[in-house]
Chain A
Amino acid sequence: GAGVSQSPSNKVTEKGKDVELRCDPISGHTALYWYRQSLGQGLEFLIYFQGNSAPDKSGLPSDRFSAERTGGSVSTLTIQRTQQEDSAVYLCASSLGGARGGPYEQYFGPGTRLTVT
Chain B
Amino acid sequence: KNEVEQSPQNLTAQEGEFITINCSYSVGISALHWLQQHPGGGIVSLFMLSSGKKKHGRLIATINIQEKHSSLHITASHPRDSAVYICAVKYGNQFYFGTGTSLTVIP
Scoring B residues 44 to 66 as 1 if CB is less than 8 Å from chain A, else 0, what string do you get?
A: 11001110000000000000000
Residues of A within 8 A of B97 (CB): 35, 42-45
Residues of A within 8 A of B50 (CB): 103
The 6 closest A-B pairs by CB, nearest first: A103-B31, A108-B43, A43-B97, A42-B99, A56-B93, A105-B48
- With contacts A42-B97, A42-B98, A42-B100 taken as known, whether A103 is within 8 angstroms of B90 at the C-beta atoms is yes
**Does any Cβ of B come within 8 Å of A58's Cβ?**
yes
Residues of B within 8 A of A (CB): 30-31, 33, 35, 42-45, 48-50, 86, 88, 90, 92-100
**Does any Cβ of B come within 8 Å of A111's Cβ?**
yes
Residues of B within 8 A of A102 (CB): 30-31
Q: How far is the CB of B12 from chain A (nearest CB, A)?
A: 19
The answer to whether B42 touches A103, judged by C-beta atoms less than 8 angstroms apart, is no
A-B contact pairs, 8 of them (CB 8 A): A35-B97, A44-B97, A48-B93, A58-B94, A103-B31, A103-B33, A104-B48, A106-B45
Q: How far is the CB of B40 from chain A (nearest CB, A)?
A: 10
Q: How far is the CB of B90 from chain A (nearest CB, A)?
A: 6
- Closest residue on chain B to residue A6 by CB atoms: B42
> Interface residues of A toward B: which range?
20 to 34
State the main secondary structure of chain B at its contact with A: strand
Question: How many Å lie between the Cα of A91 and that of B88 in the bound state?
Answer: 15
- Closest residue on chain B to residue A58 by CB atoms: B94
B42, B49, B50: which has the most chain A beta carbons within 10 Å?
B42
The answer to whether B45 touches A105, judged by C-beta atoms less than 8 angstroms apart, is yes
**Does any Cβ of B come within 8 Å of A110's Cβ?**
yes
Within 8 A of B (CB), among A70-107: 91, 93, 102-107
Within 8 A of B (CB), among A9-38: 33, 35
Residues of A within 8 A of B99 (CB): 41-42
The answer to whether B86 touches A42, judged by C-beta atoms less than 8 angstroms apart, is yes
- Closest residue on chain A to residue B29 by CB atoms: A103
Question: How many Å lie between the Cα of A117 and that of B50 in the bound state?
Answer: 42
Residues of B within 8 A of A61 (CB): none
